[in-house]
Structure 1
Amino acid sequence: MAQNYRRAKLRGKSFKGQDLTGADFSNSDIRGTDFTGAILKSANFSNAKAGLQRRWAIALVIFALLLSAISGLLSAVGGSLLGFILVNNHRENIYVVVVSLIVLSVFFIIIIRRSLSAACGFLVMAMIWAGLAAIAWAGIVAVAWAGVAVTSVMELAAVVAVIVTASMSVVIVAAGAVVIVGAAAFAGIIAGLLAVTVTVSVAGAIAGAVAVAAAMVNLTAGGVALLVAVAVVLLSAYVSCHALFGDEKQSLTRNLAIAFVTKYGTSFQGCDLTDADFTQARLKNTSFIRAILTRTCWYQAKKLHLAAVGTTYLDDLQLRELLITKDLQNKNLNGWNLQNINLRAANIKDASLIGANLSASNLQDADFSRANLGQTQLNKTDLRGATLTGAYIEDWLITSQTKLDNVKCEYIFMRIPTRENPNPHRLPPNWDETFKEGEFSCLFNPLSKIKI
């Protein structure tokens, strides 16, 4: 007998590895619940509330604020070091600082225009550059010990020391900016845009305080520190917001933040969720990594974009939106892989599905009125109760395992219309006639071996 957890408070409970086939979790509170490896076939999670428990949400946001504050401090310190290099006002020092600021600017631009991974590659190169500079410095010192003119060696050593300091400052600022972006992103995934604003603001306040302190020692140093702090804050705000709202260029930031947060939320990792129902469930900060999602229902699921979905079909943003809304009317889905999904009672009127793969999908009660199903693969597809009136089914691929019981259809077209023949091979051929109840299912059942 299926277990009943309807409206139950299951926060932090563990159902790890259990067989919960057909269990009812509707309207239940499953925040922080561990279902890892459980069998949840046909389980009902409609209107369930998943994700982080409140204490974990608060703890992680506080951690993000602390991490952001420390990173803001480090970024401002790195900027201050660049500023203090200008204190002696040597021409070489000015060149080094200008080059360092250019490097930082390029780093920021790469994050915005390309991705965090590309920018991190650039950061690695900067670290290598700093390491080589340190090696060069050590070599010069070694030469000095060998008896080369002390004055010349000391001048060269001073220049190399400035280069090393500037290089490390660039690395510190860049690393701080990346950490602030990450902290703001995962705070936003937990608590929304307001958390992003607060997290970035904390980093900005700390960085600003350090810049003011540097300005009290040296105005130039404070000015450079403030410039760097403003750039880091603006970059962090821009990238974290874009990551939160699904910008593909910031997908790495977003995915890492979601992976970190969902470790403490509801876990469906490795679960068998075949035919499970998540209608109107709240799925923020929930993990579906390695889960079996065959014909799982996502109708009107909330915050699914903030769940960890791994390499499942939910990783496709367009497909995920279709599964949530079930509104495919007038969509061009030619050639799409739509097998093993749940579009029960979906609106698919006037859609084009030429060559699409709908095998083993649940399409019960879906409305395919006037849809183009030419060459559509429908092996093991459940079309019971679907409406196919006016659909075009030229070369559609149905099998003996395609379920056509109780299909609603007044007439069908066996060919795709052309300009010369806008009404190709209609069945029934007489425009005054329509199929009788059950006639379509009987006529198109492959086992009947009736040639059309």
Structure 2
Amino acid sequence: MEITKEQIEQMIKEGKSLKDIDLSFAELDGIDFSGQDLSGAVFTGAEIRNANFEGANLEGAFIADADLSGANFKNANLSRAILQRVNLRGANFENANMFKVQLMVCDASGANFTGADMRQSRLEKSRFRRAKMDRANISQSNLRATDFQEASFIETDFSYSDLRKSQLQKAWFENVKAEQVMVYGKKPWLEGTKAELDIEQIKAPNWDD
């Protein structure tokens, strides 16, 4: 039997530990997890739309096949968390600690990652369309085959990252740090300048392989 939202809210009210809790398939839309220690928690199949995780600790959490659209992760700690096939559309990760996060086959369209620490992360095969990546640090990361169409990269650092097969149509690059980035064809940004991208000019012959 799945735990209920009311039971979780009672545990929070009583100050009980939520560390390593299993919230698989729980329906927790709109719940307030702000400031809570959810390190090691499991959220498989959970529905947690528009929830508040501001300042929460989700280090090492496992989230798969869940709906976290519209959730607020501002200033949260998601370091070493694993997210697979998660709906993150419109979520807010402003200034979040996402060091070594694994975000695989997720949909983060329209999400806000402004100022997030995403160093050494894996963002493979995910969708970040129209996402705000401004001032985020995504250096030393694997961004292969990720969809960044119409995303914003202002003062973003993605040095030493792998962007091969990423989709960058209409992405906006401004004052980015992009030392030794792996990308097929010509780099789509101009350091220190505003740069619009014509993907047809940088496509490699094997782009769609």
Q: TM-score, normalised by structure 2?
A: 0.56
Other-structure match for 1:331: 101
* 1:192 to 2:14 alignment: yes
| 8 Å contact from structure 1 (residues 360, 379) kept in 2 | yes
Q: Which has the higher contact order (CA 8 A, sep 6+)?
A: 1
The answer for the alignment partner of 1:61 in structure 2 is none
Asked if 1:365 corresponds to 2:187, the answer is no
Tell me, in whole angstroms, the C-alpha distance in 2 between the residues paired with 1:450 and 1:250: 43
3-state secondary structure, aligned to 1:404: strand
Deviation at 1:362, TM superposition (A): 0.9
Q: Per-residue displacement from partner, 1:359-400 (whole Å, max 9, x unpaired)?
A: 111110111212222211011111111112112111110112
Is the counterpart of residue 397 in structure 1 residue 167 in structure 2? Answer: yes
AA at the equivalent of 1:369: S
- Distance in 1 (alpha carbons) for counterparts of 2:22 and 2:163: 38
User: What is the distance in 2 between the residues matched to 1:192 and 1:337?
Assistant: 35
Change (3 A) 1:182 1:297: closer
Alignment match, 1:378: 148
- The 5-angstrom pairing of residues 2-13 of structure 1 reads none
What is the CA deviation profile of residues 24-63 of structure 1, one whole-angstrom value per residue up to 9, with x for unaligned ones?
xxxxxxxxxxxxxxxxxxxxxxxxxxxxxxxxxxxxxxxx
For the pair 1:445 / 2:194, whether they are aligned, the reply is no
Equivalent residues in 2 for 1:52-451, closer than 5 Å: 114-115=1-2, 185=7, 188=10, 191-193=13-15, 246-248=21-23, 251=26, 255=28, 293=70, 298-300=73-75, 313=87, 323=93, 326-400=96-170, 402-414=171-183, 437-438=191-192, 442=195, 445-446=197-198, 449=201
Residue 188 of structure 1 aligns to a residue whose secondary structure is helix
Check the 8 A contact 1:411/1:426 in 2, yes or no. no
Instruction: State which structure, 1 or 2, has the greater radius of gyration over its C-alpha atoms.
Output: 1
In structure 2, distance between residues paired with 1:188 and 1:357: 36
Output the CA distance in 2 between the equivalents of 1:182 and 1:338: 25
Identity %: 14
- Structure number with the higher helix fraction is 1
Match of 1:372, SS? coil
Q: 1:384 to 1:353 in 2, by over 3 A?
A: same
**What SS does the corresponding residue of 1:356 show, helix, strand or coil?**
coil
Distance 1:436 1:399, change over 3 A: closer
Equivalent residue letter for 1:410: E
Q: Which amino acid aligns with 1:193?
A: G
Task: Decide whether the 8 Å contact of 1:413 with 1:426 is kept in 2.
Answer: no
Distance 2:181 2:105 in 1: 22
| 1:143-176: CA deviation from partner (whole Å, max 9, x where unpaired) | xxxxxxxxxxxxxxxxxxxxxxxxxxxxxxxxxx
Note closer, same or farther for the CA distance 1:182–1:331 as it changes in structure 2 (3 Å cut).
closer
- Superposed displacement of residue 342, structure 1: 1.0
- The structure whose residues are more often strand, as a share, is 2
Q: Distance in 1 between matches of 2:72 and 2:8?
A: 27
Structure 2 segments unaligned to the other structure (5+ residues): 33-49, 56-68, 77-85, 205-209
SS in 1 for 2:26: helix
- SS of residue matched to 1:389: coil
